[in-house]
Structure 1
Amino acid sequence: MYASTEAVKQCETLLHTMMEDLHAKRIWPNVQSIIAGMLKRRIELADVYDEVHAALASTPRALYVFWDAFVHAADGWNPTKNRAARQAREELVGINSRISELADQMAALLDRRDDLHNRSGFSSGTHYHILDIVHEASEHNYQYESYVKDDLERLQYQFDLKYWPALSDVVQAIGTDAERAGVTADDSATAAATESRKSGLSDFVKAFLARVDDNKVRKCGVIPNSFALSDSALASLVNCGLALEFNELVDTDFIKRFRQRQRQAMKA
Protein backbone atom coordinates (compact mmCIF):
# COMPACT_ATOMS: atom_id res chain seq x y z
CA MET A 1 0.00 0.00 0.00
CA TYR A 2 2.89 2.33 0.53
CA ALA A 3 3.80 2.36 -3.13
CA SER A 4 0.50 3.92 -4.07
CA THR A 5 0.82 7.00 -1.88
CA GLU A 6 1.55 10.33 -3.52
CA ALA A 7 4.36 10.99 -1.08
CA VAL A 8 6.23 7.84 -2.02
CA LYS A 9 5.70 8.44 -5.71
CA GLN A 10 6.98 12.00 -5.59
CA CYS A 11 9.97 11.26 -3.39
CA GLU A 12 11.03 8.21 -5.37
CA THR A 13 10.55 10.02 -8.67
CA LEU A 14 12.73 12.84 -7.36
CA LEU A 15 15.42 10.38 -6.23
CA HIS A 16 15.31 8.58 -9.57
CA THR A 17 15.73 11.89 -11.38
CA MET A 18 18.66 12.86 -9.17
CA MET A 19 20.37 9.54 -9.79
CA GLU A 20 19.83 9.69 -13.56
CA ASP A 21 21.16 13.24 -13.68
CA LEU A 22 24.29 12.27 -11.77
CA HIS A 23 24.77 9.25 -14.01
CA ALA A 24 24.40 11.35 -17.15
CA LYS A 25 27.00 13.79 -15.86
CA ARG A 26 29.27 10.95 -14.68
CA ILE A 27 29.68 12.46 -11.23
CA TRP A 28 29.21 11.36 -7.62
CA PRO A 29 29.12 7.57 -8.20
CA ASN A 30 28.88 6.94 -4.45
CA VAL A 31 25.80 9.15 -4.22
CA GLN A 32 24.26 7.21 -7.11
CA SER A 33 24.83 3.99 -5.16
CA ILE A 34 23.28 5.47 -2.03
CA ILE A 35 20.16 6.51 -3.93
CA ALA A 36 19.92 3.10 -5.61
CA GLY A 37 20.11 1.45 -2.19
CA MET A 38 17.40 3.71 -0.82
CA LEU A 39 15.08 2.90 -3.71
CA LYS A 40 15.34 -0.77 -2.76
CA ARG A 41 14.19 -0.04 0.80
CA ARG A 42 10.81 1.50 0.08
CA ILE A 43 9.07 -0.20 2.99
CA GLU A 44 11.55 1.20 5.52
CA LEU A 45 11.36 4.69 4.04
CA ALA A 46 7.65 4.94 3.27
CA ASP A 47 6.79 6.69 6.53
CA VAL A 48 9.76 9.00 6.05
CA TYR A 49 8.53 9.91 2.58
CA ASP A 50 5.09 10.70 3.99
CA GLU A 51 6.53 12.85 6.79
CA VAL A 52 8.96 14.78 4.64
CA HIS A 53 6.49 15.23 1.80
CA ALA A 54 3.80 16.55 4.13
CA ALA A 55 6.22 19.12 5.57
CA LEU A 56 8.03 20.24 2.43
CA ALA A 57 6.10 19.48 -0.75
CA SER A 58 4.24 22.80 -0.68
CA THR A 59 7.50 24.78 -0.62
CA PRO A 60 9.18 25.11 -4.03
CA ARG A 61 12.42 23.09 -4.24
CA ALA A 62 12.42 22.27 -0.52
CA LEU A 63 11.80 18.58 -1.14
CA TYR A 64 14.66 18.41 -3.62
CA VAL A 65 17.02 20.34 -1.35
CA PHE A 66 16.21 18.04 1.58
CA TRP A 67 16.99 14.84 -0.31
CA ASP A 68 20.05 16.36 -1.93
CA ALA A 69 21.37 17.32 1.53
CA PHE A 70 20.67 13.84 2.81
CA VAL A 71 22.32 11.77 0.08
CA HIS A 72 25.42 13.98 0.06
CA ALA A 73 25.66 13.79 3.85
CA ALA A 74 25.39 10.00 3.62
CA ASP A 75 28.25 10.02 1.12
CA GLY A 76 30.45 12.58 2.85
CA TRP A 77 29.90 11.58 6.46
CA ASN A 78 29.65 7.83 6.53
CA PRO A 79 31.72 6.23 9.33
CA THR A 80 34.72 5.50 7.08
CA LYS A 81 34.99 9.04 5.73
CA ASN A 82 34.40 10.56 9.14
CA ARG A 83 37.29 8.60 10.62
CA ALA A 84 39.43 9.77 7.70
CA ALA A 85 38.40 13.38 8.34
CA ARG A 86 39.40 13.14 11.98
CA GLN A 87 42.73 11.64 11.01
CA ALA A 88 43.27 14.43 8.47
CA ARG A 89 42.59 17.04 11.15
CA GLU A 90 45.13 15.48 13.48
CA GLU A 91 47.64 15.22 10.65
CA LEU A 92 47.16 18.89 9.81
CA VAL A 93 47.81 19.86 13.42
CA GLY A 94 50.98 17.76 13.40
CA ILE A 95 52.16 19.15 10.07
CA ASN A 96 51.81 22.74 11.25
CA SER A 97 53.77 21.89 14.37
CA ARG A 98 56.50 20.23 12.32
CA ILE A 99 56.66 23.17 9.88
CA SER A 100 57.17 25.50 12.82
CA GLU A 101 60.00 23.37 14.18
CA LEU A 102 61.73 22.97 10.83
CA ALA A 103 61.37 26.66 10.02
CA ASP A 104 63.27 27.55 13.19
CA GLN A 105 66.05 25.18 12.18
CA MET A 106 66.18 26.36 8.57
CA ALA A 107 66.17 30.05 9.55
CA ALA A 108 69.14 29.41 11.84
CA LEU A 109 70.98 27.61 9.03
CA LEU A 110 70.30 30.42 6.58
CA ASP A 111 71.63 32.98 9.05
CA ARG A 112 74.73 30.87 9.62
CA ARG A 113 75.29 30.51 5.88
CA ASP A 114 75.08 34.31 5.45
CA ASP A 115 77.59 34.73 8.24
CA LEU A 116 79.99 32.30 6.58
CA HIS A 117 79.58 34.02 3.22
CA ASN A 118 80.41 37.35 4.80
CA ARG A 119 83.29 36.30 7.07
CA SER A 120 84.91 33.08 5.95
CA GLY A 121 86.35 34.12 2.61
CA PHE A 122 84.17 31.55 0.87
CA SER A 123 80.81 31.75 -0.92
CA SER A 124 78.52 29.16 -2.43
CA GLY A 125 76.67 31.12 -5.12
CA THR A 126 73.27 30.56 -3.55
CA HIS A 127 70.34 32.96 -3.76
CA TYR A 128 70.26 35.74 -1.21
CA HIS A 129 67.39 37.91 -2.52
CA ILE A 130 63.81 36.84 -1.90
CA LEU A 131 62.77 37.81 -5.43
CA ASP A 132 65.45 35.57 -6.93
CA ILE A 133 63.69 32.73 -5.15
CA VAL A 134 60.32 33.91 -6.43
CA HIS A 135 61.59 34.16 -10.00
CA GLU A 136 63.08 30.68 -9.97
CA ALA A 137 60.05 29.11 -8.31
CA SER A 138 57.76 30.69 -10.91
CA GLU A 139 59.76 29.94 -14.03
CA HIS A 140 57.12 27.48 -15.27
CA ASN A 141 54.20 29.73 -14.35
CA TYR A 142 53.11 31.40 -17.58
CA GLN A 143 50.89 33.93 -15.82
CA TYR A 144 53.75 35.04 -13.59
CA GLU A 145 56.25 35.22 -16.43
CA SER A 146 53.83 37.19 -18.63
CA TYR A 147 52.21 39.60 -16.19
CA VAL A 148 54.16 39.83 -12.94
CA LYS A 149 57.86 39.17 -13.38
CA ASP A 150 58.81 42.38 -15.23
CA ASP A 151 57.18 44.61 -12.62
CA LEU A 152 58.88 42.76 -9.77
CA GLU A 153 62.25 42.92 -11.48
CA ARG A 154 61.90 46.69 -11.82
CA LEU A 155 61.22 46.91 -8.10
CA GLN A 156 64.15 44.61 -7.37
CA TYR A 157 66.52 46.89 -9.31
CA GLN A 158 64.96 50.04 -7.89
CA PHE A 159 65.35 49.12 -4.22
CA ASP A 160 68.52 47.56 -2.89
CA LEU A 161 68.74 44.59 -0.57
CA LYS A 162 68.08 46.48 2.68
CA TYR A 163 64.47 47.05 1.60
CA TRP A 164 63.71 43.34 1.31
CA PRO A 165 63.37 40.61 3.95
CA ALA A 166 66.24 38.21 4.47
CA LEU A 167 65.59 34.63 3.45
CA SER A 168 65.82 33.56 7.07
CA ASP A 169 63.13 36.09 8.00
CA VAL A 170 60.83 34.73 5.30
CA VAL A 171 61.30 31.19 6.52
CA GLN A 172 60.78 32.30 10.11
CA ALA A 173 57.53 34.01 9.11
CA ILE A 174 56.32 30.76 7.56
CA GLY A 175 57.13 28.96 10.79
CA THR A 176 55.42 31.57 12.95
CA ASP A 177 52.32 31.39 10.76
CA ALA A 178 52.21 27.60 11.16
CA GLU A 179 52.75 27.86 14.92
CA ARG A 180 49.85 30.27 15.30
CA ALA A 181 47.54 28.27 13.05
CA GLY A 182 44.30 26.98 14.48
CA VAL A 183 42.71 24.07 12.65
CA THR A 184 39.02 24.75 12.05
CA ALA A 185 36.32 23.12 9.95
CA ASP A 186 35.44 24.79 6.66
CA ASP A 187 31.70 24.24 7.04
CA SER A 188 29.09 23.50 9.68
CA ALA A 189 28.64 19.85 8.70
CA THR A 190 32.36 19.14 9.10
CA ALA A 191 32.43 20.96 12.42
CA ALA A 192 29.39 19.08 13.71
CA ALA A 193 30.59 15.66 12.57
CA THR A 194 34.04 15.96 14.15
CA GLU A 195 33.29 17.79 17.39
CA SER A 196 33.08 14.73 19.67
CA ARG A 197 36.09 12.89 21.04
CA LYS A 198 35.15 9.57 19.45
CA SER A 199 33.66 8.86 16.04
CA GLY A 200 30.37 7.02 15.65
CA LEU A 201 27.03 7.00 13.87
CA SER A 202 26.07 10.15 15.74
CA ASP A 203 28.62 12.00 13.61
CA PHE A 204 26.57 11.32 10.51
CA VAL A 205 23.38 12.47 12.23
CA LYS A 206 25.07 15.72 13.27
CA ALA A 207 26.41 16.37 9.79
CA PHE A 208 23.07 15.68 8.14
CA LEU A 209 21.12 17.90 10.53
CA ALA A 210 23.71 20.64 10.05
CA ARG A 211 23.21 20.45 6.29
CA VAL A 212 19.46 20.67 6.73
CA ASP A 213 19.86 23.64 9.03
CA ASP A 214 22.14 25.36 6.51
CA ASN A 215 19.31 25.14 3.98
CA LYS A 216 16.62 26.64 6.18
CA VAL A 217 14.97 29.97 5.44
CA ARG A 218 16.83 31.80 8.20
CA LYS A 219 20.06 30.99 6.36
CA CYS A 220 18.67 32.01 2.98
CA GLY A 221 17.57 28.50 2.11
CA VAL A 222 14.18 27.03 1.23
CA ILE A 223 13.47 24.56 4.04
CA PRO A 224 11.04 26.05 6.60
CA ASN A 225 12.64 27.04 9.89
CA SER A 226 10.10 24.93 11.77
CA PHE A 227 10.98 21.72 9.91
CA ALA A 228 12.13 18.87 12.14
CA LEU A 229 12.27 15.13 11.64
CA SER A 230 10.67 12.69 14.05
CA ASP A 231 12.88 10.22 15.91
CA SER A 232 11.57 7.30 13.86
CA ALA A 233 12.11 9.08 10.55
CA LEU A 234 15.66 10.04 11.47
CA ALA A 235 16.45 6.48 12.57
CA SER A 236 15.17 5.10 9.25
CA LEU A 237 17.26 7.60 7.31
CA VAL A 238 20.39 6.61 9.21
CA ASN A 239 19.76 2.92 8.54
CA CYS A 240 19.02 3.33 4.84
CA GLY A 241 21.43 6.15 4.01
CA LEU A 242 24.37 4.30 5.53
CA ALA A 243 23.13 0.90 4.33
CA LEU A 244 23.54 -0.55 7.81
CA GLU A 245 23.44 -4.30 8.31
CA PHE A 246 20.78 -5.91 10.49
CA ASN A 247 23.01 -6.04 13.56
CA GLU A 248 23.99 -2.38 13.08
CA LEU A 249 20.52 -0.85 12.76
CA VAL A 250 19.62 2.06 15.00
CA ASP A 251 16.19 2.67 16.50
CA THR A 252 14.25 5.56 17.98
CA ASP A 253 15.97 5.06 21.35
CA PHE A 254 19.32 5.78 19.67
CA ILE A 255 17.94 9.03 18.26
CA LYS A 256 16.34 9.98 21.58
CA ARG A 257 19.67 9.53 23.36
CA PHE A 258 21.39 11.51 20.64
CA ARG A 259 18.97 14.41 21.00
CA GLN A 260 19.31 14.33 24.77
CA ARG A 261 23.10 14.58 24.53
CA GLN A 262 22.73 17.50 22.14
CA ARG A 263 20.41 19.34 24.54
CA GLN A 264 22.82 18.76 27.40
CA ALA A 265 25.75 20.00 25.31
CA MET A 266 23.87 23.20 24.49
CA LYS A 267 23.20 23.85 28.18
CA ALA A 268 26.82 23.23 29.19
Structure 2
Amino acid sequence: MHASTEAVTQCETLLRTMMEDLQARCIWPNVRIIIAGMLKRRIELAEVYDEVHAALASPPRALYVFWDAFVHAADGWNPEKNRAARQAREELVGINSRISELADQMAALLDRRDDLHNYSGFNSGTRYHILDIVHHASEHNYHYESYVKDELERLQYQFDLKYWPALSEVVQAIGADAESAEISANDPATAAATESRKSGRSDFVKAFLARVDDNKVREYGVIPNSFTLSDSALASLVNCGLALEFDELVDADFIKRFRQRQRQSKKA
Protein backbone atom coordinates (compact mmCIF):
# COMPACT_ATOMS: atom_id res chain seq x y z
CA MET A 1 0.00 0.00 0.00
CA HIS A 2 1.36 3.42 -0.99
CA ALA A 3 0.52 6.53 0.98
CA SER A 4 -1.14 9.35 -0.87
CA THR A 5 0.89 12.48 -1.56
CA GLU A 6 -1.97 14.59 -0.18
CA ALA A 7 -1.93 12.80 3.18
CA VAL A 8 1.84 13.08 3.58
CA THR A 9 1.86 16.72 2.48
CA GLN A 10 -0.97 17.79 4.78
CA CYS A 11 0.38 15.99 7.84
CA GLU A 12 3.94 17.22 7.33
CA THR A 13 2.73 20.76 6.65
CA LEU A 14 0.72 20.68 9.85
CA LEU A 15 3.71 19.38 11.83
CA ARG A 16 6.01 22.05 10.37
CA THR A 17 3.48 24.74 11.23
CA MET A 18 3.29 23.43 14.79
CA MET A 19 7.08 23.41 15.08
CA GLU A 20 7.43 26.93 13.67
CA ASP A 21 4.75 28.24 16.03
CA LEU A 22 6.48 26.68 19.04
CA GLN A 23 9.81 28.06 17.90
CA ALA A 24 8.38 31.54 17.42
CA ARG A 25 7.05 31.47 20.97
CA CYS A 26 10.27 29.86 22.32
CA ILE A 27 8.36 27.07 24.08
CA TRP A 28 8.42 23.27 24.22
CA PRO A 29 11.94 22.72 22.81
CA ASN A 30 11.69 18.95 23.26
CA VAL A 31 8.46 18.84 21.26
CA ARG A 32 10.20 20.74 18.46
CA ILE A 33 12.97 18.15 18.47
CA ILE A 34 10.42 15.34 18.28
CA ILE A 35 8.67 16.95 15.30
CA ALA A 36 11.98 17.56 13.54
CA GLY A 37 12.82 13.89 14.03
CA MET A 38 9.47 12.83 12.61
CA LEU A 39 9.99 14.96 9.52
CA LYS A 40 13.22 13.07 8.84
CA ARG A 41 11.41 9.71 8.97
CA ARG A 42 8.86 10.19 6.20
CA ILE A 43 9.30 6.67 4.86
CA GLU A 44 8.39 5.12 8.23
CA LEU A 45 5.46 7.46 8.77
CA ALA A 46 4.03 7.73 5.26
CA GLU A 47 1.42 5.02 5.72
CA VAL A 48 0.60 6.37 9.19
CA TYR A 49 -0.06 9.76 7.62
CA ASP A 50 -2.33 8.08 5.11
CA GLU A 51 -4.31 6.22 7.78
CA VAL A 52 -4.66 9.20 10.09
CA HIS A 53 -5.48 11.61 7.27
CA ALA A 54 -8.20 9.32 5.89
CA ALA A 55 -9.90 9.21 9.30
CA LEU A 56 -9.35 12.73 10.59
CA ALA A 57 -9.03 15.14 7.67
CA SER A 58 -12.73 15.95 7.58
CA PRO A 59 -13.69 16.73 11.21
CA PRO A 60 -12.59 20.33 11.93
CA ARG A 61 -9.23 20.45 13.76
CA ALA A 62 -9.23 16.69 14.38
CA LEU A 63 -5.98 16.17 12.49
CA TYR A 64 -4.26 18.96 14.42
CA VAL A 65 -5.56 17.71 17.77
CA PHE A 66 -4.33 14.19 17.00
CA TRP A 67 -0.79 15.26 16.16
CA ASP A 68 -0.71 17.68 19.06
CA ALA A 69 -1.71 14.85 21.41
CA PHE A 70 0.95 12.62 19.90
CA VAL A 71 3.95 14.94 20.08
CA HIS A 72 3.14 16.04 23.63
CA ALA A 73 2.68 12.42 24.71
CA ALA A 74 6.05 11.60 23.17
CA ASP A 75 7.61 14.46 25.11
CA GLY A 76 5.84 13.83 28.41
CA TRP A 77 5.91 10.05 28.50
CA ASN A 78 9.26 8.90 27.24
CA PRO A 79 10.94 6.18 29.35
CA GLU A 80 13.02 8.67 31.35
CA LYS A 81 10.01 10.77 32.31
CA ASN A 82 7.98 7.65 33.04
CA ARG A 83 10.56 6.58 35.61
CA ALA A 84 10.63 10.09 37.07
CA ALA A 85 6.84 10.09 37.40
CA ARG A 86 6.87 6.83 39.33
CA GLN A 87 9.62 8.15 41.59
CA ALA A 88 7.62 11.32 42.22
CA ARG A 89 4.59 9.26 43.17
CA GLU A 90 6.61 7.20 45.64
CA GLU A 91 8.20 10.35 47.04
CA LEU A 92 4.76 11.89 47.55
CA VAL A 93 3.67 8.82 49.52
CA GLY A 94 6.76 9.10 51.70
CA ILE A 95 6.37 12.84 52.23
CA ASN A 96 2.76 12.49 53.39
CA SER A 97 3.79 9.74 55.77
CA ARG A 98 6.60 11.89 57.15
CA ILE A 99 4.30 14.91 57.54
CA SER A 100 1.89 12.76 59.53
CA GLU A 101 4.68 11.57 61.84
CA LEU A 102 6.16 15.03 62.37
CA ALA A 103 2.72 16.57 62.95
CA ASP A 104 2.13 14.18 65.85
CA GLN A 105 5.48 15.15 67.34
CA MET A 106 4.96 18.86 66.83
CA ALA A 107 1.43 18.79 68.26
CA ALA A 108 2.77 17.09 71.39
CA LEU A 109 5.50 19.73 71.71
CA LEU A 110 2.99 22.56 71.31
CA ASP A 111 0.75 21.08 74.00
CA ARG A 112 3.74 20.67 76.31
CA ARG A 113 4.80 24.27 75.68
CA ASP A 114 1.30 25.46 76.60
CA ASP A 115 1.50 23.49 79.84
CA LEU A 116 4.83 25.07 80.72
CA HIS A 117 3.51 28.53 79.90
CA ASN A 118 0.48 27.96 82.13
CA TYR A 119 2.05 26.20 85.11
CA SER A 120 5.83 26.65 85.22
CA GLY A 121 5.96 30.36 85.98
CA PHE A 122 7.79 30.98 82.70
CA ASN A 123 6.64 32.19 79.30
CA SER A 124 8.48 32.31 76.00
CA GLY A 125 6.34 35.05 74.47
CA THR A 126 5.40 32.91 71.45
CA ARG A 127 2.15 33.32 69.55
CA TYR A 128 -0.71 31.11 70.67
CA HIS A 129 -3.70 32.33 68.63
CA ILE A 130 -4.08 30.73 65.20
CA LEU A 131 -4.93 34.08 63.61
CA ASP A 132 -1.76 35.65 65.00
CA ILE A 133 0.14 32.95 63.14
CA VAL A 134 -1.91 33.61 60.00
CA HIS A 135 -1.23 37.35 60.23
CA HIS A 136 2.48 36.77 60.68
CA ALA A 137 2.69 34.27 57.83
CA SER A 138 0.85 36.65 55.49
CA GLU A 139 2.63 39.88 56.33
CA HIS A 140 4.27 39.99 52.89
CA ASN A 141 1.09 39.02 51.07
CA TYR A 142 -0.32 42.23 49.64
CA HIS A 143 -3.72 40.70 48.87
CA TYR A 144 -4.10 39.37 52.41
CA GLU A 145 -3.00 42.62 53.99
CA SER A 146 -5.30 44.68 51.75
CA TYR A 147 -8.46 42.60 51.62
CA VAL A 148 -8.51 39.89 54.29
CA LYS A 149 -6.61 40.91 57.41
CA ASP A 150 -9.04 43.55 58.69
CA GLU A 151 -12.00 41.18 58.44
CA LEU A 152 -10.17 38.42 60.32
CA GLU A 153 -8.97 40.81 62.99
CA ARG A 154 -12.56 41.88 63.63
CA LEU A 155 -13.51 38.24 64.12
CA GLN A 156 -10.49 37.69 66.34
CA TYR A 157 -11.55 40.51 68.65
CA GLN A 158 -15.20 39.47 68.55
CA PHE A 159 -14.66 35.84 69.62
CA ASP A 160 -12.30 34.91 72.41
CA LEU A 161 -9.79 32.09 72.36
CA LYS A 162 -12.21 29.26 73.16
CA TYR A 163 -13.84 29.68 69.74
CA TRP A 164 -10.61 29.00 67.85
CA PRO A 165 -8.53 25.82 67.42
CA ALA A 166 -5.34 25.51 69.41
CA LEU A 167 -2.11 25.47 67.43
CA SER A 168 -1.61 21.81 68.29
CA GLU A 169 -5.07 21.00 66.91
CA VAL A 170 -4.25 22.75 63.64
CA VAL A 171 -1.03 20.78 63.34
CA GLN A 172 -2.86 17.54 64.15
CA ALA A 173 -5.38 18.32 61.41
CA ILE A 174 -2.53 18.79 58.92
CA GLY A 175 -1.09 15.44 59.99
CA ALA A 176 -4.45 13.68 59.73
CA ASP A 177 -4.96 15.12 56.28
CA ALA A 178 -1.57 13.81 55.14
CA GLU A 179 -2.15 10.41 56.74
CA SER A 180 -5.47 9.90 54.93
CA ALA A 181 -4.19 11.18 51.58
CA GLU A 182 -4.81 9.00 48.55
CA ILE A 183 -2.40 9.52 45.68
CA SER A 184 -4.12 9.97 42.33
CA ALA A 185 -3.07 11.16 38.90
CA ASN A 186 -4.13 14.60 37.75
CA ASP A 187 -5.09 13.49 34.25
CA PRO A 188 -5.96 10.30 32.31
CA ALA A 189 -2.59 10.13 30.53
CA THR A 190 -0.66 10.19 33.80
CA ALA A 191 -2.95 7.57 35.30
CA ALA A 192 -2.61 5.30 32.27
CA ALA A 193 1.16 5.67 31.94
CA THR A 194 1.89 4.88 35.58
CA GLU A 195 -0.66 2.15 36.30
CA SER A 196 1.80 -0.74 35.87
CA ARG A 197 4.40 -1.61 38.47
CA LYS A 198 7.40 -1.21 36.15
CA SER A 199 8.03 1.40 33.48
CA GLY A 200 8.45 0.47 29.84
CA ARG A 201 7.60 1.48 26.29
CA SER A 202 4.01 0.43 26.88
CA ASP A 203 3.68 3.41 29.22
CA PHE A 204 4.01 5.76 26.28
CA VAL A 205 1.41 3.82 24.30
CA LYS A 206 -1.03 4.02 27.21
CA ALA A 207 -0.46 7.73 27.70
CA PHE A 208 -0.84 8.51 24.00
CA LEU A 209 -4.04 6.48 23.63
CA ALA A 210 -5.41 8.10 26.79
CA ARG A 211 -4.76 11.54 25.29
CA VAL A 212 -6.51 10.52 22.09
CA ASP A 213 -9.50 9.18 24.03
CA ASP A 214 -9.60 12.37 26.08
CA ASN A 215 -10.03 14.33 22.83
CA LYS A 216 -12.83 12.22 21.38
CA VAL A 217 -16.32 13.52 20.81
CA ARG A 218 -17.72 11.73 23.88
CA GLU A 219 -15.27 13.78 25.97
CA TYR A 220 -16.34 16.96 24.16
CA GLY A 221 -13.37 16.77 21.80
CA VAL A 222 -13.17 16.59 18.01
CA ILE A 223 -11.75 13.13 17.29
CA PRO A 224 -14.51 10.69 16.25
CA ASN A 225 -15.39 8.10 18.88
CA SER A 226 -14.85 5.32 16.35
CA PHE A 227 -11.28 6.36 15.57
CA THR A 228 -8.60 3.78 16.23
CA LEU A 229 -5.11 3.14 14.91
CA SER A 230 -3.95 -0.07 13.31
CA ASP A 231 -1.28 -2.08 15.10
CA SER A 232 1.32 -1.25 12.44
CA ALA A 233 0.54 2.48 12.52
CA LEU A 234 0.76 2.63 16.28
CA ALA A 235 4.06 0.72 16.21
CA SER A 236 5.52 3.23 13.74
CA LEU A 237 4.41 6.11 15.94
CA VAL A 238 6.07 4.54 18.98
CA ASN A 239 9.32 4.09 17.05
CA CYS A 240 9.37 7.65 15.77
CA GLY A 241 7.94 9.37 18.81
CA LEU A 242 10.48 7.79 21.12
CA ALA A 243 13.28 7.96 18.51
CA LEU A 244 14.06 4.29 19.07
CA GLU A 245 17.27 2.83 17.68
CA PHE A 246 17.24 -0.05 15.19
CA ASP A 247 17.65 -2.73 17.86
CA GLU A 248 14.88 -1.17 19.98
CA LEU A 249 12.17 -0.90 17.33
CA VAL A 250 8.74 -2.31 18.07
CA ASP A 251 6.47 -3.92 15.50
CA ALA A 252 2.79 -4.64 15.02
CA ASP A 253 3.08 -7.80 17.13
CA PHE A 254 4.26 -5.69 20.09
CA ILE A 255 1.11 -3.57 19.79
CA LYS A 256 -1.07 -6.63 19.31
CA ARG A 257 0.27 -8.17 22.54
CA PHE A 258 -0.14 -4.85 24.32
CA ARG A 259 -3.79 -4.63 23.30
CA GLN A 260 -4.41 -8.21 24.34
CA ARG A 261 -3.01 -7.46 27.80
CA GLN A 262 -5.19 -4.36 28.04
CA ARG A 263 -8.31 -6.34 27.16
CA GLN A 264 -7.43 -9.02 29.69
CA SER A 265 -6.80 -6.47 32.47
CA LYS A 266 -10.20 -4.90 31.84
CA LYS A 267 -11.88 -8.29 32.17
CA ALA A 268 -10.06 -9.09 35.42
8 Å CA contact 1:190–1:207 kept in 2: the answer is yes
Deviation at 1:172, TM superposition (A): 0.1
2:20 is the counterpart of 1:20: yes
- How many percent of aligned residue pairs carry the same amino acid? 88
Q: Which runs of 5+ in 2 are unaligned?
A: none
How big is each residue's C-alpha offset from its partner over 1:49-106, in whole Å with a ceiling of 9 and x where there is no partner? Answer: 0000001101110000000000000000000011000000000000000000000000
Q: CA deviation at 1:28?
A: 0.5
Separation of aligned partners in 2, 1:263 and 1:144: 52
Q: Secondary structure at the match of 2:139?
A: coil
> 1:105 maps to what in 2?
105
Is the 8 Å Cα contact of residues 3 and 47 (structure 2) preserved in structure 1? Answer: no
Quote the Cα distance in structure 2 between the aligned partners of 1:252 and 1:68.
23
Q: In 1, distance between residues paired with 2:11 and 2:79?
A: 26
Q: Is 1:65 equivalent to 2:65 in the alignment?
A: yes
* Partner Cα distance (2:264, 2:3) in 1: 40
Q: What is the CA-CA distance between 1:4 and the residue it aligns to? A: 6.7
- Structure 1 match to 2:171: 171
Cα shift at 1:247: 1.0
The superposition leaves residues 102-124 of structure 1 with CA deviations (integer Å, 9 ceiling, x where unpaired) of: 00000000000000100100010
- Aligned match of 1:133: 133
Give the Cα–Cα distance (whole angstroms) in 1 for the partners of residues 154 and 224 of structure 2. Answer: 58
| Deviation for aligned residue 1:3 | 8.3
Once residues 33 and 5 of structure 2 are traced to their aligned partners in structure 1, the CA distance between those partners, rounded to angstroms, is: 24
Q: Distance in 1 between matches of 2:237 and 2:21?
A: 22
Residue 4 of structure 2 contacts residue 50 of structure 2 at CA under 8 Å; is this kept in 1? no
Deviation, structure 1 residue 18? 0.3
TM-score, length-scaled by structure 2: 0.99
Question: For each residue in 1:196-218, what CA deviation from the matched residue of structure 2 results, as whole angstroms up to 9, or x when unmatched?
Answer: 01000000000000000000011
Alignment RMSD: 1.1
Distance 2:2 2:233 in 1: 15
Q: Aligned letter for 1:50?
A: D
C-alpha distance in 1 between matches for 2:2 and 2:37: 17
Mapped contact 1:101–1:175 kept (Cα < 8 A): yes
Matches within 5 A, 1:201-212: 201-212=201-212
State the match for 1:260 in structure 2.
260
Q: Structure 1 residues 3 and 53, CA, compared in 2 at 3 Å: closer, same or farther?
A: closer
CA distance in 2, matches of 1:20, 1:122: 69
Does the 8 A contact of 1:2 with 1:43 survive in 2?
no
Equivalent residue pairs, number: 268
Give the secondary-structure state (helix, strand or coil) at the position aligned to 1:148: helix
CA distance, structure 1, for counterparts of residue 230 and residue 221 of structure 2: 21
Q: Which residue of 2 aligns with 1:76?
A: 76
